[in-house]
Amino acid sequence: MTHRSGGGKRNRFDEQKRRAVCEEAARIMVEESVRNYQVAKQKACMRLGYDHRSTPLPNNREIEFAFAARLRLFRGKSLMEKLRCDRQKAAELMRLFAPFQPRLVGALLRGNVTDDTPIELHLFADSPEELVEHLDRNNIPCQTFDKRVRFAGNRFVKVPGFRFSVDQGMVELLTFNRKQIREAPICPVDGRPMKRASMSAVEELVPAKMSDFG
């Protein structure tokens, strides 16, 4: 009995620590615009005085839930306005990149954005050079980068990306081959295939009201 009681206390203490890390990580993501869940967890542990290597950590989905709740609690009206504006920008960008079958992904699609959240689009082309030419024709200066993306079966692929600013906000484009429109990467939040929204689906989101987001 004593052993089980001690174990129960340890379990409750571990659960309290896990919840504390979850809330602190969510706060860090909202207030400091940290986008990487692992970084947020490590920062949360450091600020709470926990060793992240031995502390029971929340999963990304739990942090995303706490992150969304904090956004709605403290930034409800401004959040809705930013969602409307950024989704409008996304729809306009998708029209510009229509030849590449654009899909909106990430935080803007999920509805959880901070001031520094970029507009993330997946584009599909026979080669990245097609997109480079399109950017040049439209006089869009950009930075290039590579992103390591995970697919089903724990398969990792390095995908070329392009980053540029629009109206003081950031846009990130990832360029996949055309066949990959049928295979979405794995979402870092829930470990499932990432949700992707077509241009028509995004246009339907633009006039969204508060009730649409719970």
Residue 89 located in a structural domain: yes
Instruction: Read off the pLDDT of each residue in 35-64 and give the average, rounded to a whole number.
Output: 92
Does 102 score more than 60 pLDDT? yes
Nearest to 58 by CA among 16, 106, 111: 16
Helix, strand and coil in the chain, % to nearest 5: 55, 20, 25
- For the cut 50, the answer to whether the pLDDT of residue 211 exceeds it is no
Query: Which segments within the chain are labelled E, that is strand?
Result: 103-105, 119-125, 143-151, 155-166, 169-177
- Structural domain including 84 reads 76-213
- Residue 65 maps to a domain: no
Residues 87 and 183 in one domain: yes
Domains in the chain, number: 2
Is the sign of the CA dihedral 136, 106, 127, 179 positive or negative? negative
Query: Which is nearest to 169 in space by CA: 98, 208, 114, 207?
Result: 114
Q: Are residue 53 and residue 82 in the same domain, yes or no? A: no
pLDDT in tens, 76-98: 778 888 899 999 999 999 999 99
pTM over cut 0.85: no
| Same domain (yes/no): 149, 81 | yes
Query: What CATH number is given to the structural domain containing 143?
Result: 3.30.460.10
